[in-house]
Amino acid sequence: MGAFLACDWGGTNLRAWVVGEAGEILDRRDFPFGISRLQPGEAPERFRIDVRPALAAEGLPAILCGMVGSNLGWRAVPYLDCPIDPAALGRNLCQVQDGDAPVWIVPGLRGLGLTDAPDFMRGEETQVLGWRLGQAGPGRRTVCLPGTHSKWVVLENERLMGVTTFMTGELYAVLSRHSVLRSDAAADDEAAFDAGLAAAGDGGALAARIFSTRTRVVAAVPPAAADSSASYLSGLLIGAEIAAAPALAGLGAAEPVILLGDPGLCRWYARALTRAARAFESFEGDRAVLAGLIALWRAGPGQQA
């Protein structure tokens, strides 16, 4: 099959691996220039002058997923419609050229979310595919991918049925930096986080609940020190997401949530799920997205390389 370059190029950063003929990782690098941090049309140039040399990967064919396939990235790759069999992703890769080396971009998915509004994902579909490869048997599963825009993806047997986005991470960033709730403190106070989880309630009246981040400090309600406000706000927002999403996804009381993503972030979602008495399993997102990219490569371009 030959070596190839696999990249998860999201909005805030880029993860890249050189993968050997047997699927082994030969090298890996992380880069701080996500698509949202680049100028229009800049992605191909940064890939050529920064990514390839750092990995000694000049001339290697490549497969990329994530926001690189959006209208802000390398090329706008059309979304595929849910429900969809993951194998359809491999049949619809978009080929672009990087000098003499071919590059394939994985399309994103679109469908009706849990609230019956249109919703989208780019990159998460590859992560879910990679995770699913390691699971046995048919069935219905609900996967939560925490992040700036958390995604809740429903699978039935082998088909991705739809996605719903929660802007939890972005809402936290905006409120903690640009509002009356702004704070420079780290969100690592477990007691304050737990107080935020309790304040989230059933997730309703969220705008009013959010303001309690401010009122607790003014009223000196412990744990309400200014340096714990960020943790309280984080718990409140994640708690509201956890309160709402399982019901919207139609999860039964005994059905676990699959947490898929960065272990540090999944830790806080796991804490929220534990408090909500919701079963869960956690899996590392890096391994899943790489497994998905390798599977898509082998199913398509790798057969011709």
CATH of the domain at 19: 3.30.420.300
What mean pLDDT do residues 248-274 have? 93
Q: Which of 33, 132, 27 is nearest to 89 (CA)?
A: 132
Q: Which two tokens stand for residue 128?
A: 């879910």
CA distance 36 to 33: 8
Length of the chain: 305
CA distance 183 to 175: 9
Q: Is 94 domain-assigned?
A: yes
The answer, as to whether pTM is greater than 0.75, is yes
Position 26 scores a pLDDT of 97
Residue 76 has pLDDT above 60, yes or no: yes
Q: Is 57 domain-assigned?
A: yes
Position 184 scores a pLDDT of 86
Q: Is 267 domain-assigned?
A: no
Q: Is 73 domain-assigned?
A: yes
Domain range enclosing 76? 4-110+287-304
What mean pLDDT do residues 278-286 have? 96
Q: Is 293 domain-assigned?
A: yes
Which residue in the block uniquely carries the two structure tokens 């699978």?
155
Residue 97 has pLDDT above 90, yes or no: no
Number of folded domains that form the chain = 1
What average pLDDT is seen over the chain? 92
Condensed to tens digits (0 to 9), the pLDDT of residues 122-147 reads: 999 999 999 998 886 788 899 999 99
Given a contact cutoff of 8 angstroms between Cβ atoms, the answer to whether 203 and 240 are in contact is yes
pLDDT tier at 56, thresholds 50, 70, 90: very high
Q: Is 192 domain-assigned?
A: no
pLDDT tier at 248, thresholds 50, 70, 90: confident
Q: Is 201 domain-assigned?
A: no
Position 251 scores a pLDDT of 84
pLDDT tier at 43, thresholds 50, 70, 90: very high
Q: Is 207 domain-assigned?
A: no
